[in-house]
Structure formats: C-alpha cells, structure tokens
Amino acid sequence: MIKRVFSKMTVGHVITNIVRLILIIGFISSLNQGRDLAVAFTIIAFVSTFISKILSNFGIKTGTETQIIILLIIYGSLFLGEIRGIFSDLWWWDILLKGFAALALSFIGLTVILSLKEQELLDTSTFMTISLAFALSFTLGAIWEIIEFSLDNLFGFALQQIGTGVVVLDLIIDASAAFIVSAGGYIYQKKGIWNPMSGAVLKMMKNNPKLFKSSNSLETPAEKIISIIKKGEGPKLEFKSSIRTNLYTNSIDKNIEFMLLKTLVAYFNSDGGILVVGVSDKGEIIGLDKDAFVNDDKLKLHINNLIKDNIGAQFMHLLHYELINIDGKKILKMDCSPSNKMVFLKDNNQEEFYIRNGPATMKLSGSTLIDYISNHFG
C-alpha cells in the first residue's frame, strides 16, 4: 500500500509538499513573533504552491520541471526573502535570492521569443533568436529593478535589499541569469540537448498550444490553404490547374510544365510568392488526379527533376512545397523565396528571364532586362 502511494508521487509532488510544510512552520513562527508582513508573505507563498492545480482547471498544463521552478521562485522570493535576517551572516544568501528572481524573468523572456519562433512570426537564425531572448530577459530584469525601487519608496518595502544592494551589481546578476537561460535555449535549439533552461519552457509550450499560439497557427494545413485560396490570385499568389496535364485534351503537355516553371522563376526573380497547383483560376479545388502520378513520391521526384533540369539544382533551397489533402483532393502548395542571384529558365538550349508584374508573369530581354538586373540585384 505504501509503495503504491509513493509510486504515484512525482518529484514535483514531493518538493511541493516539502515547501508547503516549511511555509506552514514559517507562518506559525512569524505569527508568534508578531511579524505581520512575514505572515502575509507566507500566506501568499502557500496559496501560490497551488498555481499548477489552478492553471490545470483552465486547461493549462505544467510539467514537473515548471512546477519545481515556480516553487523555487515563490519560496526564495517571498518566504526566504522576508526572513533573510536569519541568514544575515551568509553574504551569498541575498545574491542567491536575487538569482532566483532573475532566472524567473529570464524564463519569461525565453518563453516569449520561442513562442514567436514556434508560430513562424520570427524568422531568424538560432543565434539571433537566442540573442533576442537574452535581450528581452535582461530588459525584464531592468524593469523589475525600477519596480522594486518604486515600491520601496512608495510603501517603505525593502525589496532592493534582496541582492547586492547596488543596482549595477543586481543588473549584472540579471544579465548572468539571462545568459545562462539563453545559453541553455541555444544548446537545445542547435543540438537538441535537453536542459532545464529550455526543456521546461518548450514542454509547457507544447502542452498548451492554445496559450502560446495564435489562432492562425492552430489551423490545419488544409484550413490554412483554403484561407489562402479564398483571397484570390494576386502579385504573390497564383493558381494552376495541373502540373503536366492539359485538362482540355487529357494528355501530358510540356507547355503546362513550362507555364508552371515560368511562374516559379518569376517569383524567384521578384519578391517571392505562392503557387498553388490543383486549383482553377476561379479558386475551385480540382485536385491532381489528372496528372496521374503513381504515388506522392513520384510526384515529388518529378517536381525535383523539373527544377534541376530547367532552373538549376542550386536554386532548390528557394522552394518549399507540400501536398495537402482537401476533402479527398490533393493540391500542391509551392512557397517561393526571392533569390539574391539572377534565375533563368532553360528553354530549347536558351535561357529566359521572367519576373512578376502585378498578378502576371512577364518575360524580360534586352535593355529592359539589363535595367531590371541592375536595379533589383544591385
């Protein structure tokens, strides 16, 4: 029976109950000594140990690591911070408490930046992403110093005594905590190595997509592409009915492939765009059945060969495509990024240059081509 009870207790439960026991002892001690502020802090800290339970009632899940982090911050900042006089002989005690608070703010900074990255609202390298996390975490630490200063002066608190007592040195602690958490996030993002700094944050984000993601990012690929199709064709969006089949003759037609390649090259040479294949000019979803590929792998291989043979393998990285199933009909969504080099389309041993001109694809040659290359590619 005892073994069964302990088997159900996680590390988070054990630490939670230990902290609650210490807080109860602290409450009784503070009450006997008539320390009203300490009594208030212990009550707040005790109630705060139920944060994970309260959040779960709102559908927000916190992992064991997150629970432990929350408890350490509560315990260190509220309870131990108020009874720090007991440890006045330990020079490092206040610095340790300050470190807890700085780590908490750094976790918030890292969470915000990784959330933006997860939603593809932030398109940066791993190094730049983590650098932004460090900057935001340090900024939050600086703002917290201002809040402490204001509360101390307005209400007679002694919040700034927690730490070194010198604002500049406290900011150094904030910067150090931000660096540690951001470094952990960098290691996770770059090498996939789990660590407490980023593991807890990413686990919480994964368990609570509705909390950290926008409504658009929660849409399925099918819902997203339907929203895109409803916008209609434009400078950065074009529809094609098929990849290689002429729908009027029901036969494979090289001209159909050539029209598709022209649009891709035009996007590469302009500002990028999206080509959706399997959709009529009017936005009707037709599907790719008429192209008669044996399977999806054969279709993708055909697209790859078209790009390599007619545009160049060196430009493959500019194209990201995916097959999307909508009510049993497959369509091909092709995202094109702008190129920083000129992209030509091979046609009968000749090279042709295309750009987007509003919603149309236009061929350039002669002096017009020279002017465009000079202005667009520098």
What CATH number matches the domain at 221-376, 3.40.50.1000, 3.30.950.30, 3.40.50.970, 3.30.70.3040?
3.30.950.30
Measured in residues, the chain has a length of 378
- Tell me which residue of 52, 56, 64 sits closest to 11, measured CA to CA: 64
Q: Strands 273-277 and 245-246: what pairing?
A: unpaired
- Tell me which residue of 65, 62, 45, 66 sits closest to 54, measured CA to CA: 62
Residue 193, C-beta contacts closer than 8 angstroms, at least 6 positions apart: 187
pLDDT, residue 137, reads 87
Q: How many CB atoms lie within 10 A of CB 257?
A: 18
Token pair for 193: 């190595």
pLDDT, residue 292, reads 92
Query: Are the C-beta atoms of 262 and 361 separated by less than 8 Å?
Result: yes
Beta strands in 190-264 (DSSP E): 237-240, 245-246, 251-252
- Tell me which residue of 260, 263, 240, 277 sits closest to 363, measured CA to CA: 263
Burial class (CB in 10 A: 0-12, 13-18, 19+), 283: middle
Q: Strands 319-326 and 329-336: what pairing?
A: antiparallel
pLDDT, residue 255, reads 93
Helix, coil or strand: residue 160? helix
Separation between Cα atoms, residue 254 and residue 208, nearest integer Å: 48
Query: Are the C-beta atoms of 177 and 103 separated by less than 8 Å?
Result: yes
C-alpha neighbours within 13 Å on the C-beta side of residue 326: 24
DSSP letter, residue 279: B
- Return residue ranges of the chain for CATH 3.30.950.30: 221-376
Each residue's pLDDT tens digit in the chain (378 positions)?
Answer: 444 444 445 555 776 777 778 778 878 877 887 766 667 777 777 777 777 677 667 665 665 555 555 655 555 555 555 554 545 556 676 677 777 778 777 877 887 787 677 666 677 777 888 888 899 889 988 988 888 788 778 866 666 666 667 888 888 988 998 898 888 887 776 665 555 555 566 666 666 666 666 555 556 788 888 988 998 999 999 999 999 999 999 999 999 999 999 999 999 999 899 999 999 999 999 999 999 999 999 999 999 999 999 999 999 999 999 999 998 999 999 999 999 899 999 988 899 999 999 889 999 999 999 999 999 887
Query: Are the C-beta atoms of 213 and 224 separated by less than 8 Å?
Result: no
C-alpha neighbours within 13 Å on the C-beta side of residue 157: 17
Separation between Cα atoms, residue 175 and residue 145, nearest integer Å: 12
Dihedral angle computed from the Cα positions of residues 184, 186, 192 and 197, in that order, rounded to the nearest 10 degrees: 20
Q: List, in sequence order, every residue forming a beta bridge with 331; answer none if it has no partner.
A: 324
Phi, psi of 191 (to 5 degrees): -115, -5
Measuring CA to CA, how many Å separate 117 from each of 169, 205, 281?
Answer: 32, 12, 34
Query: Are the C-beta atoms of 141 and 105 separated by less than 8 Å?
Result: yes
- Tell me which residue of 99, 98, 108 sits closest to 200, measured CA to CA: 108
- Tell me which residue of 203, 213, 216, 217 sits closest to 61, measured CA to CA: 203
Token pair for 324: 């999307």
